[in-house]
Amino acid sequence: MSRPDILLLDNLDSFVYNLLDEFASAGMNVEVYRNNVPAADLLARLARRPGVLVLSPGPGHPQDAGELMPLLRAALGRHPVLGICLGFQALIEASGGAVGRVGPVHGEAQTLTLTGSEGHPLFAGLGPLSVARYHSLGSRDLPPTLHSLAEIDGISMAAEHRQHAALGFQFHPESLLTPRGRELLLRSAEFLTGRHIGQPTFAATVQETTQ
């Protein structure tokens, strides 16, 4: 089965090139757009050629990141969304939550605590996960629309939307300090689109084990 296209929103962060390399190395078509491109133009692009909208890390608050919030609010429920660091914070805000200062933490590798999500396809079989943190904003209280998947010291590190194909990571899977990061990114694209990317889908695994 073909692999999903990636529309990568660049929130003016050097990590965007790491993300580009990770997805491209898996054979995915990746298009990168700065966050000053009008949201309407990017939505039109997604309508013409559907794919996963990936919201990159970046500086500052998500409400101040150009077209990030207008694009995300319009895309939720219409297109699969993956938010990373600033992109995850944007997902929290767009889902009715709020982010505030929780750091700073820059360039530290710490171990995730899974929050009842051991059977989730994103983390199944990966064991204890060391992840890279580079952030000063975050959330300790997710809105009801988001389901917590992982945390560190009470700060949300991963969550998925309860109604829409959207999820995010506060940590940086594209960093060298996240050894299983590439696998997490590919599993995320698979989970959001229901396509096969090197691993059996969670739904297929459930069917096989229940037949």
**Is 99 part of a structural domain of the chain?**
yes
Q: What's the average model confidence in pLDDT over 175-186?
A: 93
Higher pLDDT, residue 206 or 190? 190
Query: So what's the pLDDT on residue 116?
Result: 66
**Is 32 part of a structural domain of the chain?**
yes
Q: Which residues are catalytic?
A: 85, 172, 174
Q: What's the average model confidence in pLDDT over 48-61?
A: 96
**Is 1 part of a structural domain of the chain?**
no
Range of 118's domain? Answer: 6-210
**Is 134 part of a structural domain of the chain?**
yes
18 pLDDT band, cuts 50/70/90, is very high
Query: Is the per-residue pLDDT at 184 higher than 50?
Result: yes
What average pLDDT does the structure give for the chain?
89
**Is 93 part of a structural domain of the chain?**
yes
**Is 198 part of a structural domain of the chain?**
yes
Check: CB of residue 99 under 8 Å from CB of residue 62.
Answer: yes
**Is 176 part of a structural domain of the chain?**
yes
Return d(Cα 91, Cα 137) in angstroms, integer: 13
Q: What is the per-residue pLDDT across 104-162, written as a single tens digit (0 to 9) for each?
A: 787 889 999 998 655 678 888 888 899 999 999 999 999 999 999 999 999 999 999 99
What torsion, rounded to 10 degrees, do the Cα atoms 50, 55, 56, 62 define? 160
Query: Is the per-residue pLDDT at 195 higher than 70?
Result: no
Read off the CATH number of the domain in which 194 is found: 3.40.50.880
How many domains, the chain? 1
**Is 28 part of a structural domain of the chain?**
yes
Query: Is the per-residue pLDDT at 80 higher than 90?
Result: yes
